[in-house]
Chain A
């Protein structure tokens, strides 16, 4: 109950902010932060709960973005439909990749997911309908009242998506699915021997994760008014989605949330104060630092409080 009340409060607050006089830059930055909250939360369902490191976030994200573009260009589809379609395509890709690679060991799965990024990117580079390598300009629809700009509306949409993603992760974590995934992560063979349908559960995690990532990608073309392969499939999404949970903590839905909020906010600050290149380095350094020094992430410091509250 506490969770849903907090979630409602957040949504209402976001709605309030989006029609207020706050500086436009806030919405630009917040949109990015919220995107990573969704990506990190999605990543953690497979990577944190089940222990399968997915390095292909960019593929799912990019697929969602291009799906949105295709629907927008072909049918003039509204944002909600774009997001739903992005989720569907992301889920489908998750299923496909899962079927292909989940039978293999962890590192093969990780490398295969990198492969998917490049293959998707190559496909889009060679597809003229979506602009090929040079990309496509997009004309955003008019912002609906009461929003002052389209970006403000996107901010609210992303807030809703982030809340939904976290709620979904929370459900997976506390349900019987979550226990099965944890068993898989701790010892896949013992899990299988204990009656856990390991392949099936891993596929479920893959599909949910992929769908969320695809959904997160769908608003991006509207946000930028532009799409092109290199930046859409940028590895920055892959490493950010992986770093945030590693920093925040991988065993609980709070981890990716905290990690994404901290990491991306820090990145925004660094970009504005120091330089754009350094901010990318920050991710790598923090990832390595946390993985080596604080494997349980920030949440590890609050472990005892968490164990008491999740009973």
Chain B
């Protein structure tokens, strides 16, 4: 049994009287391609926020590479190797695409600007964004913004990348583009958790899938078994 990269144990999160997560447990192995699905409001982004540190979990623990990170602020978790993209892209809009990547390379990897630039051009090249490096973030198209989100996460040289609905609202060919990028990243050794609504993307990409509903995990297994699971179908389509 490979040692787990990320171990989420019994995590709960409440907002006032509302329970967003209840007793969620996950075990992610290094190099895995992991899919997280669930209807809107099921708590997927809350879970990601708890893992990445933007939110503090109320109960349970989160261990990364064996170390308990539940009390660490988000920026320290990024330095440990967890990177994430945002569902609604949040670029640094007064900076160029290139400068966007210089932030993590300086603050996470502690590179000089020259080193950071070289790395950034490489990452952008791999995503087909090299030509847009000097453009401002607010001059990019929607799919380019999604790629920028992923590129910026990559500039932090993560061991684990969490992609939060990177493909939402994209066209078929654009979905393929982003998917190809994620595959390539995984092949270079990065563990990836993908949150998606687009089923065919999740099926093609994931080795294992977990389904969340109303803050609880209702099903876990291979993509094929998840799709056939009646609980999953009920969660998405209603009783």
A contact residues vs B (CB 8 Å cutoff): 176, 179-180, 182-183, 185-187, 189-199, 251
CA distance A194 to B52 in the complex (A): 11
Contact (A198, B86) CB under 8 Å given A179-B99, A186-B93, A191-B103? no
Chain A binding surface, main DSSP class: helix
Task: Scan residues 55-110 of chain B and give those whose CB is less than 8 A from a CB of chain A.
Answer: 73-76, 78-79, 83-84, 86, 90-95, 99, 102-104, 106-108
- Contact (Cβ within 8 A) B83 A193: yes
B152 within 8 A of A: yes
* Given A179-B99, A189-B86, A190-B86; A195-B94 close (CB under 8 Å): no
Sampled A-B contacts (15; CB under 8 Å): A179-B103, A183-B95, A187-B90, A187-B93, A190-B86, A190-B152, A194-B75, A194-B78, A194-B107, A195-B107, A195-B108, A196-B75, A196-B103, A196-B107, A197-B75
| Number of interface residues, chain B, beta carbon within 8 A | 29
Other A-B pairs beyond A190-B91, A194-B107, 12, CB < 8 Å:
A180-B106, A186-B91, A186-B95, A187-B92, A189-B54, A189-B86, A191-B92, A191-B103, A193-B52, A193-B86, A195-B78, A195-B103
* Contact of A186 (CB < 8 Å), options: B83, B94, B104, B107: B94
Q: How far is the CB of A306 from chain B (nearest CB, A)?
A: 13
Residues of B169-196 whose CB lies within 8 A of A: none
Instruction: Give Cα distance in the complex from A193 to B55, angstroms.
Output: 12
Contact of B95 among A182, A196, A199 (CB under 8 A): A182
Residues A193 and B84 in contact, CB atoms below 8 Å apart? yes
A73 smallest CB distance to B (angstroms) = 44
Question: Considering residues A183, A193, A197, A199, which has the most beta carbons from chain B within 10 angstroms of its beta carbon?
Answer: A193
Closest to A190 in B: B90
Assess whether B95 is in contact with A194, with CB atoms less than 8 Å apart. Answer: no
Interchain nearest-CB distance for B120 vs A (Å): 13
**Do B156 and A194 touch across chains, with their CB atoms under 8 A apart?**
yes
Q: Name the A residues within 8 Å of B102 (CB-CB).
A: 179
Q: Are B103 and A183 in contact (CB under 8 A)?
A: yes
Interchain nearest-CB distance for A198 vs B (Å): 7
Inter-chain contact A195/B79, CB cutoff 8 Å: yes
Q: Which of A183, A187, A192, A251 contacts B74 (CB 8 A)?
A: A192
Q: Smallest CB-CB separation from A191: which chain B residue?
A: B103
Which residues on B sit within 8 Å (CB–CB) of A189? Answer: 54, 86, 90
Asked if A180 and B103 sit within 8 Å, CB to CB, the answer is: yes
Interfacial chain A residues near B54, Cβ < 8 Å: 189, 192-193
Residues B97-136 near A (CB distance < 8 A): 99, 102-104, 106-108
Do residues A195 and B99 form an inter-chain contact, with CB atoms below 8 A? no
With CB as the reference atom, state the residue of chain B lying closest to A307: B96
Nearest CB on A from B125, distance (A) = 20
CB pair A194 B103 closer than 8 Å: yes
Contacting residues, chain B, for A182 (C-beta < 8 A): 92, 94-95
CA distance A187 to B94 in the complex (A): 10
Give the most central of A182, A187, A190, A196: most B CB within 10 Å: A190
Q: Which residue of A lies closest to B89 (CB)?
A: A190
Check if A192 sits within 8 Å of B103, measured CB to CB: no
Query: How many Å lie between the Cα of A252 and that of B198 in the bound state?
Result: 44
> Which residues of B (14-37) have their CB < 8 Å from a CB of A?
none
Kindly provide the distance from the CB of A291 to the nearest chain B CB, expressed in whole angstroms. Answer: 17
CB of A50, distance to nearest CB on chain B (Å): 12
Q: Report the bound CA distance from A113 to B52 in whole Å.
A: 31
Give min CB distance, A142 to chain B, whole Å. 51
What 7 A-B pairs have minimum CB-CB distances, sorted nearest first?
A195-B108, A195-B107, A186-B92, A190-B90, A187-B90, A194-B104, A195-B78
User: Which residues of the other chain, A, contact B106 by a CB distance below 8 angstroms?
Assistant: 176, 179-180
What A residues does B91 contact at CB under 8 A?
Answer: 186-187, 190
B82 to chain A: closest CB distance in Å?
Answer: 9
Q: How far is the CB of B57 from chain A (nearest CB, A)?
A: 16
Tell me the bound Cα distance from A195 to B94 in angstroms. 18
Q: Which residues of A contact B73 (CB under 8 A)?
A: 192, 197, 199
Measured CB to CB, the closest approach of chain B to A22, in angstroms, equals 42
Partner of A193, one of B74, B93, B94: B74
Q: Which residue of A lies closest to B137 (CB)?
A: A186
Q: Which of chain B's residues has its CB closest to A200's CB?
A: B75
Residues of A within 8 A of B74 (CB): 192-193
Would you list which residues of chain B between 117 and 165 have a CB under 8 Å from chain A? Answer: 152-153, 155-156
Digit string of B44-59 for contact with A (CB within 8 Å is 1, else 0)? 0000000011100000
Chain B residues with Cβ below 8 Å from A193 are 52, 54, 74-75, 78, 83-84, 86, 153
